[in-house]
Amino acid sequence: MAIVSNDITDLVGNTPLFKLNHIVPEGAADVYLKLESFNIGGSIKTRTALNLIRDAEDKGRLKAGDTIVEASTGNTGVGLALIGPARGYQVLILMPDNADPARVEILKAYGAQVEFLDHEGGVNELVAAGEAYDQEEGYVFMRQFSNPANPETHFKTTGPEIYEALDQVPDAFVAGAGTGGTLTGTARYLRTKSKEVEIYAVEPAESAVLHGKEKGPHKIQGIGPGIIPDTLDTEIYNEVLDVSSAAAIDMTRRLGREESIFAGISSGANTVAAIEVAKKLGPGKIVVAIAPDTGERYLNSDIFMDRASYQPVRD
């Protein structure tokens, strides 16, 4: 249903579920992707950004004229950058110095300030810088990796939307483990409706820290931060599924070519895992997976560039 609004936050949430028609093999369960690119800002992290801001306002941490600070490699930063000014705040995003230039330009287009830190320090260095800013007057660090308002977002919105759209609980739910907010909050809600729903976390095979392995470089942006965040409930999922960067890239390309879904690489990873679960469950069952963002942010990445020649992929 079309809406008329003068509040940008009205354009957050209520994203569609799309049933995959071509890439799921015969004899498998039905697989639905929740297409989070339909959020204003193009990703699921706009939901998170909105709830982080509202929570800080409700608790009196954030007041007009303050500067919102967050450690982000992209999507959460974009969400904060587009919502913050609309509610009277400035925005400062802390990023590694090897961040995707396209993400940086998007942030600046929304008026955000960007500060770069040495990428060798990883997430922990970004978080430490955010905590330092939080001690200064007029700066409020959002703490997406530890703030309970992150998973609360998805308990209040993403989970209920899935349940209401299907008019039932899916047999399985699949989401990548980045901050863990989407996975944790959505799973907690679905478990209030049925204890039988199977929950699957997805992480990069090259950085399988949830399996107790060392962190490593990978190409699945948005998941696999190399730490186990406080916002990830490690008791909520039945199993962790590892997906290689190569498999995620291949599936992301297939989503565009075979299903007309132009999505980011974490969507490809989640789809690989969802199909694995669907084959195990068999026909008559329903698997829901998250497609976190749009593929437009990855046009200059390995997803849509041939890895040998670094030219656009061509049939």
Would the CA dihedral through 202, 206, 209, 215 be positive or negative?
negative
Is 186 annotated to bind ligand? no
Residues near 140 by Cβ (< 8 Å), separated by ≥ 6?
Answer: 56, 61, 62, 66, 67, 68, 69, 134
Say how far apart CA 267 and CA 56 lie, in whole Å.
29
Is 178 annotated to bind ligand? yes
Residues near 47 by Cβ (< 8 Å), separated by ≥ 6?
Answer: 12, 13, 36, 39, 79, 153, 154, 157, 158
pLDDT of residue 39: 98
Q: Which domains does the chain have, with CATH numbers?
A: 8-42+151-298 (3.40.50.1100), 45-141 (3.40.50.1100)
Q: How would you write the pLDDT of the chain (315 residues) with one tens digit per residue?
A: 678 999 999 999 999 999 999 999 999 999 999 999 999 999 999 999 999 999 999 999 999 999 999 999 889 999 999 999 999 999 999 999 988 888 899 999 999 999 999 988 888 999 999 999 999 999 999 999 999 999 999 999 999 999 999 999 999 999 999 999 999 999 999 999 999 999 999 999 999 999 999 999 999 998 999 999 999 999 999 999 999 999 999 999 999 999 999 999 999 999 999 999 999 999 999 999 999 999 998 887 767 766 444 344 444
pLDDT tens-digit readout, 76-111: 999 999 999 999 999 999 999 988 888 899 999 999
Q: Are 100 and 74 in contact (CB under 8 A)?
A: yes
Phi, psi of 257 (to 5 degrees): -80, -35
Say how far apart CA 218 and CA 200 lie, in whole Å.
20
Q: How far apart are the first and last CA of the chain?
A: 37
Phi, psi of 141 (to 5 degrees): -85, 130
Note the pTM of the prediction, 2 decimals: 0.93
Is 181 annotated to bind ligand? yes
Q: What is the CA radius of gyration of the chain?
A: 19
pLDDT of residue 305: 62
pLDDT tens-digit readout, 219-261: 999 899 999 999 999 999 999 999 999 999 999 999 999 999 9
Structural tokens at position 216? 């490593």
pLDDT of residue 306: 60
Name which of 144, 89, 137, 134 is nearest 111 in CA terms. 89
Name which of 58, 87, 82 is nearest 70 in CA terms. 82
Is 46 annotated to bind ligand? no
Side-chain half-sphere exposure of 281, counting CA atoms within 13 A? 25
pLDDT of residue 1: 66
Q: Are 262 and 294 in contact (CB under 8 A)?
A: yes
Is 75 annotated to bind ligand? yes
Could you list the active site residues? 45, 266
Say how far apart CA 99 and CA 126 lie, in whole Å.
12
pLDDT of residue 311: 47
Q: At what angle do helices 149-156 and 45-58 cross, to 10 degrees?
A: 110
Name which of 70, 32, 49 is nearest 182 in CA terms. 49
Q: Are 58 and 50 in contact (CB under 8 A)?
A: no
